[in-house]
Amino acid sequence: MKKDDCIFCKLANGEIPTNALYEDDIVKVIFDLGPATRGHVLVIPKEHFDNVFSMDEKTAAHVFVVASRVAKALYAELGCDGMNILQNNGEIAGQTVFHFHMHIIPRYKDDAVNIKWTAGKLDDDFAHNLIEKLRDKI
């Protein structure tokens, strides 16, 4: 299902013309208009999902299959030094367009992109408690 006021629905379904790097029945891969680096693309499902929490498993699986293929092709073609594949859910996580999208960001030794955080320390009690709580939910 599409959402009328969603720009990514319009881009993914051709209502707004765009250069697609790849397209099939489920997803479209387009260039990010504000790229972090050369070759930064987005994998966008054609159906509207606000984020990963509302996405069905079939679409989620396909998104990553396509992301994997695109990443390998970009890596071979661009001569980049590495790649980030990331996906933000919710404003606090950095999501700015509320239609699920996965970023594929080629990385170069001299790029100025900073995707880092300060490492904390794992709380073993928290982890064991969470394992128990989620055992039958995943």
Active site residue 62: no
Q: Write down the catalytic residue from 40, 48, 99, 101.
A: 101
Separation of alpha carbons 55 and 53, rounded Å: 6
Binding characters for Zn ion, 50-89, by CB under 5 A (x = yes): ----------------------------------------
The tokens for 107 are: 């990385």
Burial of 89 (0-12, 13-18, 19+ CB in 10 A): middle
Q: How far is the CB of 75 from Zn ion (least distance, A)?
A: 28
* Distances, alpha carbon 28 to alpha carbons 70, 101, 121, in Å: 11, 10, 39
- x/- binding map, residues 89-118, to Zn ion, per CB under 5 A? ----------x-------------------
Residues 5-34 that bind Zn ion (CB under 5 A): 6, 8-9
- Please identify which residue in 28, 40, 46, 48 interacts with Zn ion, judged by CB under 5 A: 48
Q: Is 3 in the site for Zn ion (CB under 5 A)?
A: yes
Which residues are CB-contacts of 30 (< 8 A; sequence separation ≥ 6)?
11, 12, 18, 19, 20, 21, 41, 42, 44
Contact residues: Zn ion, CB under 5 A: 3, 6, 8-9, 48, 99
